Amino acid sequence: MAEFLRESRIAKALTDRTIVYESHVRRFWRLARYVDDEKMIYSAVRKKDENGQDKDVEIKFDVGDLRRVLELGDSDNDPSIIPERLCKGLWYKIGFTGHVNGK
């Protein structure tokens, strides 16, 4: 099983150990919005400016950005080989609280 996961195209997504605070995840999803005609997700993250003050910075990303960052090595036209149950579990694990059926 471990070898399968290491060779899987979702290996990085499953094994990445980046520390993410729950409050940041909740804030991200609270501010997130999807723009259908652009196929982009918009949200905001808080970062320090040059004076050390917190400021909100809007970010936007699409499916291609997620595929690149998670190193999936595929395209939008490739068939999904990930079981639906696993996909739902991954969305919930990253803090998404919306409806995931049929997405």
Instruction: List the pLDDT tens digit at each of the 103 positions of the chain.
Output: 677 777 777 777 777 788 888 888 899 989 999 999 999 999 998 889 899 999 999 999 998 888 888 777 777 677 666 667 777 777 788 888 777 765 4
What is residue 78's DSSP assignment? S
For 96, the 3-state DSSP assignment is coil
Asked whether the beta carbons of 78 and 9 are under 8 A apart, the reply is no
Quick one: which of 89, 53, 70 has its CA closest to 11?
70
Q: Scanning the structure block, which residue is given the tokens 């049929």?
A: 102
CA atoms of 49 and 68, how far apart (whole Å): 27
